[in-house]
Amino acid sequence: MDDKRQIKIAALTGGHNTPSARFRVRQYISRLAKFGIAVEEHIPYFEKSCGLPSPFIAAARIPALFRSRDADAVWLNKELVQGYPTFERFLKRPRVLDADDAIWQNLPFGGFGAPRIARAMDAVVAGNSYLADYFSQYCNNVHIVPTAIDLERYTQREKLPEGKFVIGWTGLACNYQYLEPIADALRQFLESHDDAELMLLSNRKWDTSELPADKVRFVPWSKENEASALHEMSVGLMPLADDKWAKGKCSFKML
């Protein structure tokens, strides 16, 4: 396609391994290129999940603020700093917010920041109807785009794995909180079934004493081993609490 007709999009994401960046933005870059839409992703030096104070995270987003000025539009993957309104109003227009979580629940200022950010957007892309209903209060151009899975990478398994019965869970370690309410049920199942084990595909181990250690297998997550590790699971778990944050989730683990 003629370069003169090419549309340039600046995508501001939260990090190399952030799930929403990988599945809401990055997996579409090569596909959009086929339609003459060039997406340049701007990833901060400090990842959102690295545990640094918010001022450091905010400072790391400033270079993208300037680099995105040459784009035809800005694609913002969630807020720039989790739980805080920062430079969103200074991004070049048109600007689009992509949200696959109930970011207004992010503390300390999510309840104040999310409406402020949404009002500054020309459009909001929401991962489900719950998110869309919320953002429609503050932006009159809201679209629902569910999270999708690349079936060329995450292929269907032809048959169940042989050997152990593997109960699988994957996610960031901060979400082990969702496993804690069912820890006793997991313990009972693991202790009563010799061939069963729990496999945790995450960025760090689950610090718990409620489960038999010899029945829990931790697999360090990487984008290279993710698909093959999922194929080892006999059944997957996605426990959630019945709260406002969980209602905003887009069921990525289930997908």
End-to-end CA distance of the chain: 34
Give the model's pLDDT for residue 255.
Answer: 82
**pLDDT tens readout for residues 77-121:** 999 998 899 999 999 999 999 999 999 999 888 899 999 999 999
Q: pLDDT band for 213, please (50, 70, 90 cuts).
A: very high
**pLDDT tens readout for residues 35-69:** 999 999 999 876 655 455 677 778 888 899 999 99
Give the model's pLDDT for residue 180.
Answer: 96
**DSSP per-residue string spanning 44-95:** -SS-GGG---HHHHHHHHHHHHHHGGGSSEEEEES-SBTTB--SGGGSPSSE
Domain count within the chain: 2
Are residues 127 and 183 both part of a single domain? no
Cα–Cα dist 2/37, whole Å:
11
Are residues 177 and 72 both part of a single domain? no
Cα–Cα dist 67/47, whole Å:
18
Average pLDDT over residues 209-229: 94
Are residues 62 and 140 both part of a single domain? yes
Report residue 4 as tokens.
Answer: 């003169």
Residue 40 within any structural domain of the chain: yes
Residue 34 within any structural domain of the chain: yes
Are residues 107 and 214 both part of a single domain? no
